[in-house]
Amino acid sequence: MSAWEEDLNDVLEALRRSSAKLSRLKSLVLSGKISKETYEDLIIRFEADASNAEKRRRALVETLSKIQKELSEQAKLFEGLTSSLEAKLASSAVSEDHYVKVSTALKYGFEETIREMESVSNALSELYKEAPEPDQYLIGKAMKRVEKGE
């Protein structure tokens, strides 16, 4: 397992956990099971957790985007090396035996690069799905600040 895969699992878990806490807190205050004061105390902490998880999500998206770009360049390199090797074979610059050995190694490298690119792409899709939707509570707080002229 790659380091980014562990980070992905940690970030996704943190995002889901913080979202669940916020949802639970809101349902508890709406049902009257906790006071408005308790809600106000806890919402600050829970939103901070959600904000930290979101920062980690964005950082991981940035990291994975860079990895995806590097892997794309790596795949192009493998394709170029394979084309060059084929040209050498066609011009009898390399033996058939050499061609088979090197082309097999390039093929395995290319296939592994493509597999890694697919994994990164899937991870990015998961992270994009977990992007937060606008929170009505936060929008309401922002609107009150605007109305007060803050």
Q: How far is CA 95 from its chain centroid? A: 44
Asked whether the whole model's pTM tops 0.75, one would answer: yes
pLDDT one-digit tens code per residue, 48-74 = 999 999 999 999 999 999 999 999 999
pLDDT one-digit tens code per residue, 81-126 = 999 999 999 999 999 999 999 999 999 999 999 999 999 999 999 9
